[in-house]
Amino acid sequence: MIAAVISLGGIGLAAAVALGVAAKKFAVEVDPREAAILEVLSGANCGACGLPGCSAYAKAVVEEGVPANLCSPGGQATIEAIAAIMGVAAEAMVPQVAVVRCQGDNRKAKNKFHYLGLQDCNAAQRIADGPKACPGGCLGLGGCERVCPFGAIEMTADGIAVISRDKCTGCKKCVAACPRNVIAMTPRTATVHVLCNSHDKGAVVRKYCEVGCIGCQICKKTAPGAYLIEDFLARVVYEEEQDAAPGIEKCPTKCIRDFALGYPEGSSFKAAESRPEPEHAA
């Protein structure tokens, strides 16, 4: 008994001493600022900053001078806290918001076949590339809705995803979840978007969708510089400060939408971008 205690205790003590010496010898210096930043980050490890996890971002801020304004779930408070730790002026982040680039719900867009399988977009996409005839259209089975940690996505009754611009924090989880790459990150300041993701030619798009972009170039001609047509699909040039609004009226298939004026039909979200003054209760 005594021998057991002494021998095991001795082995443990010897190991502890050796490890203690080694810890001193091989100490890795961690910048205290790194730990402090990790404290103020949201800890969501969502990857919105473009780095694998919060600790990697904290490290990158300290060591590589990566901007302090990339944590979108943390928002402005986090940015200011990081800036205070790093001793730099807080820059406002360019907040991003996810947009579903599709309005082709089950009324407006055709399906190739009737899908009866597992009610999940990734499962449906594996069966003959999904039931929706449009190769870039929203399958409407709610894969993005289920991964959104903030409840910012709803599926309308007609089967299309709509993202609330108020609740979205720009964490990009839905972008990764969507098997058809329908969801895109856009600058929050831009409210006008082309809600179509089909690169098919106009004649083909017309066959399967009422609200698809046919690449007719009319928006580009109406609002020069605000639109770009690539592979028969228009998109708003977010980098330019051009007003894209004039293109909305002229669009023959009505696939351009200004979210400041409301969400696609069937959505319960209210347009809050253009918040009107609250009316005084009479």
Is residue 20 involved in binding other proteins (CB under 8 A)? no
What mask of x and - would describe binding to other proteins in positions 95 to 134, judged by CB under 8 A? -------------------------------x--------
Q: Is 168 annotated as a binding residue?
A: yes
Non-local (6+) Cβ contacts of 39 within 8 A are none
Is residue 94 involved in binding other proteins (CB under 8 A)? no
Residue 263 backbone phi and psi in degrees, to 5: -95, 165
CA distances from 101 to 54, 187, 189, 212, 255 (A): 29, 14, 17, 10, 9
Q: Is 102 annotated as a binding residue?
A: no
Residue nearer to other proteins on the CB measure, 2 or 282 = 2
Is residue 12 involved in binding other proteins (CB under 8 A)? yes
Strands (E), the chain: 96-100, 153-155, 161-163, 183-187, 192-194, 227-230, 233-236, 256-258
Is residue 231 involved in binding other proteins (CB under 8 A)? no
DSSP annotation of 277? P
Count CA atoms closer than 13 A to 3's CA, side-chain side. Answer: 0
CA distances from 135 to 9, 81, 107 (A): 68, 44, 17
From the list 1-9, 66-74, 151-159, 207-215, the region that binds other proteins by CB under 8 A is 1-9
CA 196 centroid distance within chain:
17
Is residue 4 involved in binding other proteins (CB under 8 A)? yes
**Start-to-end Cα distance in the chain:** 87
Shortest spacing between CB 123 and other proteins, in angstroms: 12
From the list 25-33, 64-72, 174-182, 254-262, the region that binds other proteins by CB under 8 A is 25-33
Residue nearer to other proteins on the CB measure, 63 or 241 = 63
Q: Is 216 annotated as a binding residue?
A: no
Which parts of this chain interact with other proteins (CB under 8 A)? 3-4, 7-8, 11-12, 15-16, 18-19, 22-23, 26-28, 126
Residues of each annotated binding site for [4Fe-4S] cluster: 46, 49, 54, 71, 134, 138, 144, 148, 168, 171, 174, 178
